[in-house]
Amino acid sequence: MALGLQKAGIDGNAVIMTRNPWELLFYMPGTIRGVGLPYATPEVIFAVAKYYGVTHFINDCRRPGLDTFLKKGHPGLSRISVEGPFPVYKFDAASFKDGELADLDSTPPAE
């Protein structure tokens, strides 16, 4: 997966959201950063992604409603061609309109 991301031109300033960022980052250049994929709805997942400045999202695990959200498509998520077992998306937080993402200050903790 790491080699596929590098071949796809993921640059040194990328912040990648994935289920296990430590596994991916072990094989990536030291300038790439990672954020763990929370067990949450898409509205919370992408609010967290926006907060941490995520540039790329790897859909490598099941989350409530995530597959349906990705199948519908969103201008803030564009699938990129990467060799590997999981779909990779370029994430553009500015393309999400007000109200589309969860307010993280009022989101209750997961139970």
Q: What is the mean pLDDT of the chain?
A: 91
Q: What's the rounded Cα separation, in Å, for the pair 44 and 59?
A: 15
Q: What's the rounded Cα separation, in Å, for the pair 77 and 60?
A: 15
**CB-based contacts of 111, cutoff 8 Å, min separation 6:** none
Q: Mind listing the pLDDT tens digit for each residue in 58-77?
A: 999 889 899 999 999 999 99
Residue 6 has pLDDT above 90, yes or no: no
Going by pLDDT thresholds of 50, 70 and 90, the confidence category of residue 107 is confident
Going by pLDDT thresholds of 50, 70 and 90, the confidence category of residue 7 is confident
pTM equals 0.90
Q: What is the predicted pLDDT for the residue at 64?
A: 86
Q: What is the predicted pLDDT for the residue at 111?
A: 67
